Chains A and B, each alone.
Chain A
Amino acid sequence: MDSFIATGLIGISLGSQYTLLALGFTLIFGILGVVNFAHGGFYVMGGYVAYYCNVILGLPYPVAVMLAMLSMAALGWLFESLILERVIEDHQATLMVTMGFYLVMATAILMIFGAESPQFPFPVTGVWRLGGIYFPYANMIVLGACLAAIVFVYWLVYRTNIGRGMRAMSEDLPVASALGMRTKALFPFAFALATGLAGGTGALVTPILALAPHVGDSVLAFSFLTVILGGLGSVTGATCAAFIVGLIEAYAAVYLGGSKGALTLFALVLIILVVRPQGLLGREVRRS
């Protein structure tokens, strides 16, 4: 029973990480109509920026996380306004440039930092225990930070004018533009917000999980899984799906072992696609 609870806690903290990634991903899709293949790249690069600032430059870890977040937001802003914006009308072209950018980012990391995983330990060690339940402090801090960020995103999306504009655009772009919303001006902002979140998540999570140039691949695959499960463009759907993914992964790793967790998830996704193609909370699928 204790290990069941402890595994659940790990699942929830994994879920909160996936939520941050999936929220960014789904915001970009909802607002810009773009599937961001570079999302995993911002996550990894965020991790490396934090590593460089914290381990090489010796800055305090929280500062390193902030810098990772800001630099990835800035990079996302530049990429959106210099490259993505030019092809934003053509969904296939947006796919190509984000994919190309991911390849460039991954290769750049490889050239600068090498293929070896760097030593990037989480600054806080130790384990919290209550009876037989164990939960590392590192995971607890990451969980707290992720939950705070999730609350922030929800506040932004549901309680501010910017968020209302973004939601209106994700629901009906022509109507939102007709109502005079400055749609284009929100594009780089929304993109930067999402990539900043990805960078921050990378900075928080890579010390616990792994930091290597190629970890973006699996991050991308899990983001895809989450948004397929939750329904593309649905903020709440992404959140629910991310926690489901996190919990299944944690329990499957403990009780099934190996990569069976991932297979379970894939099976779940296939079932969802048959039963509810629009995802758990997605709206009716319309023909594109």
Chain B
Amino acid sequence: MSSHDLKPLPAETRSSLLSGHDWIALVFVAMTFLIPVFSTNPQVLSQTNLILIAATAALGVYIMQRLDLMSFAVPSFMAIGGYTVALISMKLHVTDVLILAAAAFLMPALCAIPLGSLILRLKGVYFVLVTFVLTEIVQLLLFEAGPITGGANGLVGMPAVKLFGFELWDNPHVLLTTCGLAVLSFAITSLFTRTFRHEFAAIETNDVLAESLGLAAWKYKAMAFSIAAGVSGLAGFALVNMLMTAHPSSFAPMSSVNYITYTIVGGKASILGTLIGALLLVSATDYFALSGEMSPGLFGLLIIIVTLVARGGVVGVVSGLLYRLVGKTTPLNTGETGHAAQEHANQKEGRP
């Protein structure tokens, strides 16, 4: 080999499993447990509830974004999770929150496996179309399968859930249940996406190369689809638990657009983006009293603006600004790729 001294292989870069953004998001979500302690204002409680449910649902979009796939399927899996819980608690009289949460996660996750194996073989574009059509199918099925789903009336009068025999029945308790489900969902999502970060990153950037090195890309796609479905199911549980009703209108096909908006506007690159997006947009909808009617237009504008001028979304823009202010410290979003990613950004903007 060459005459000069061999350079040794640099020591293995160890990176923590969860990144800074994952921890911030988790702590942030966990802190909502304290809200019922400080406030009994029903407005505050219900607003927090809505934000947490929105953020949890949008995690389904976030997970599929790891693979560069746009999913419209969130409301379908929310519906499967929500109706499963409603049926179990009303027909089988099982109200233990842990059992219900397990059912709300597993049922959609299992449904997603055959479905995923069907549609994930196709190009990304087909995936988008099929998930869109899927939400329409599930909506129709909810109306048509009257004997099971209660049709247009939905399933009304769910009993309160119980934790170790203790009934979680009033507003603060309902919020606590939602908080628990949200923390669980955020933990599952960050652990899942970070454990397989190499695989997901490879499939997202160059799936042909990844497969040529031996990666069974479809397995990871199917797994992501299934976990995303499970997390959506937990959001569905939180929603029917808050409303005490499982109704088709809670899972309207176009609501998928809202969840996509939260993730994209907040910043699709990190889990914190999904949380911030849900927080800002749900609050904005409420604050401007844009009662359902106008908020789609606002969301549409925001999506176009973010896509055209600020790809990183809110979190991307803010951490970019922080990076400039603080200077050379690595940005918050450090996996072991943080350094490289920053160099990439510098290079693109012509900085050293």
A binds B: yes
In the complex, A99 has a CB within 8 A of chain B: yes
Contact assessment for A104 and B297 in the assembled complex, using a CB-CB cutoff below 8 Å: yes
What is the CA–CA distance of A35 and B207 in the complex, to the nearest angstrom?
A: 21
Additional 19 contacts, C-beta under 8 A, given A99-B257, A262-B140, A285-B126 = A83-B304, A93-B311, A95-B70, A96-B304, A100-B304, A104-B297, A106-B297, A107-B296, A107-B300, A108-B297, A110-B293, A110-B294, A224-B132, A227-B129, A232-B126, A232-B129, A270-B118, A274-B118, A286-B123
Contact assessment for A266 and B136 in the assembled complex, using a CB-CB cutoff below 8 Å: yes
In the complex, A29 has a CB within 8 A of chain B: yes
In the complex, A254 has a CB within 8 A of chain B: no
In the complex, B141 has a CB within 8 A of chain A: yes
Give me 30 A-to-B residue pairs in the complex whose CB atoms sit less than 8 angstroms apart, sorted by A's number: A83-B304, A87-B307, A91-B124, A93-B307, A96-B303, A99-B303, A100-B299, A100-B300, A100-B302, A100-B303, A101-B304, A103-B299, A103-B301, A103-B303, A107-B296, A221-B253, A224-B129, A228-B126, A228-B129, A228-B130, A232-B129, A259-B144, A262-B140, A263-B140, A273-B119, A273-B130, A286-B123, A287-B207, A288-B124, A288-B125
In the complex, A184 has a CB within 8 A of chain B: no
Contact assessment for A100 and B130 in the assembled complex, using a CB-CB cutoff below 8 Å: no
Shortest Cβ gap from B137 to chain A (Å): 4
Which of chain B's residues have a CB closer than 8 A to the CB of A228?
A: 126, 129-130, 133
Q: Which 6 A-B pairs have the closest CB atoms?
A: A107-B297, A103-B300, A100-B303, A100-B304, A104-B300, A100-B300
In the complex, B31 has a CB within 8 A of chain A: no
Which of chain B's residues have a CB closer than 8 A to the CB of A106?
A: 296-297
Taking CB as reference atom, which chain B residue is nearest A225?
A: B133
Which of chain A's residues have a CB closer than 8 A to the CB of B197?
A: none
Which of chain A's residues have a CB closer than 8 A to the CB of B301?
A: 100, 103-104
A37-73 vs B, Cβ < 8 Å mask (1 yes, 0 no): 0000000000000000000000000000000000000
Q: Which of A29, A96, A104 has the most CB of B within 10 A?
A: A96
In the complex, A160 has a CB within 8 A of chain B: no
In the complex, B33 has a CB within 8 A of chain A: no
Contact assessment for A100 and B128 in the assembled complex, using a CB-CB cutoff below 8 Å: no
In the complex, B208 has a CB within 8 A of chain A: yes
Task: Name the contact of B123 in the complex, choosing from A99, A227, A269, A287 (C-beta under 8 A).
Answer: A287
Residues of A bordering B, CB below 8 Å? 29, 35, 83, 86-87, 91-93, 95-97, 99-104, 106-108, 110-111, 115, 217-218, 220-221, 224-225, 227-228, 232, 258-260, 262-263, 266, 269-270, 273-274, 277, 285-288
Shortest Cβ gap from A172 to chain B (Å): 16
Supposing A99-B257, A104-B300, A110-B293 touch, asked if A221 and B307 sit within 8 A by C-beta, the answer is no
Q: Which of B125, B130, B257, B302 has the most CB of A within 10 A?
A: B125
By secondary structure, the A interface counts as helix
By secondary structure, the B interface counts as helix
In the complex, B167 has a CB within 8 A of chain A: no
Taking CB as reference atom, which chain A residue is nearest B254?
A: A217
Supposing A99-B257, A102-B300, A107-B300 touch, asked if A260 and B123 sit within 8 A by C-beta, the answer is no
Shortest Cβ gap from B259 to chain A (Å): 12
What is the CA–CA distance of A198 and B140 in the complex, to the nearest angstrom?
A: 26
In the complex, B326 has a CB within 8 A of chain A: no
What is the CA–CA distance of A91 and B118 in the complex, to the nearest angstrom?
A: 22
Contact assessment for B130 and A103 in the assembled complex, using a CB-CB cutoff below 8 Å: no
In the complex, B92 has a CB within 8 A of chain A: no
Contact assessment for B308 and A92 in the assembled complex, using a CB-CB cutoff below 8 Å: no
Please provide the chain B residues from 104 to 131 with a CB less than 8 Å away from any CB of chain A in the complex.
Answer: 118-119, 121-126, 128-130
What is the CA–CA distance of A162 and B176 in the complex, to the nearest angstrom?
A: 62
Contact assessment for A101 and B300 in the assembled complex, using a CB-CB cutoff below 8 Å: yes
Supposing A87-B307, A96-B307, A277-B126 touch, asked if A103 and B297 sit within 8 A by C-beta, the answer is yes
Which of chain B's residues have a CB closer than 8 A to the CB of A263?
A: 137, 140-141, 144
What is the CA–CA distance of A266 and B253 in the complex, to the nearest angstrom?
A: 15
Which of chain B's residues have a CB closer than 8 A to the CB of A288?
A: 123-125
B315-333 vs A, Cβ < 8 Å mask (1 yes, 0 no): 0000000000000000000
Contact assessment for A35 and B296 in the assembled complex, using a CB-CB cutoff below 8 Å: no
What is the CA–CA distance of A287 and B297 in the complex, to the nearest angstrom?
A: 35
Shortest Cβ gap from B81 to chain A (Å): 21
Taking CB as reference atom, which chain A residue is nearest B252?
A: A217
Taking CB as reference atom, which chain A residue is nearest B301?
A: A104
Taking CB as reference atom, which chain B residue is nearest A115?
A: B293
In the complex, B23 has a CB within 8 A of chain A: no
In the complex, B155 has a CB within 8 A of chain A: no
In the complex, B220 has a CB within 8 A of chain A: no
In the complex, B143 has a CB within 8 A of chain A: yes
Shortest Cβ gap from A259 to chain B (Å): 5
Supposing A99-B303, A287-B207, A288-B124 touch, asked if A258 and B144 sit within 8 A by C-beta, the answer is yes
What is the CA–CA distance of A183 and B22 in the complex, to the nearest angstrom?
A: 44
Contact assessment for B140 and A259 in the assembled complex, using a CB-CB cutoff below 8 Å: yes
Which of chain B's residues have a CB closer than 8 A to the CB of A224?
A: 129, 132-133
Which of chain A's residues have a CB closer than 8 A to the CB of B257?
A: 99, 103
Q: Which of B129, B253, B308 has the most CB of A within 10 A?
A: B129
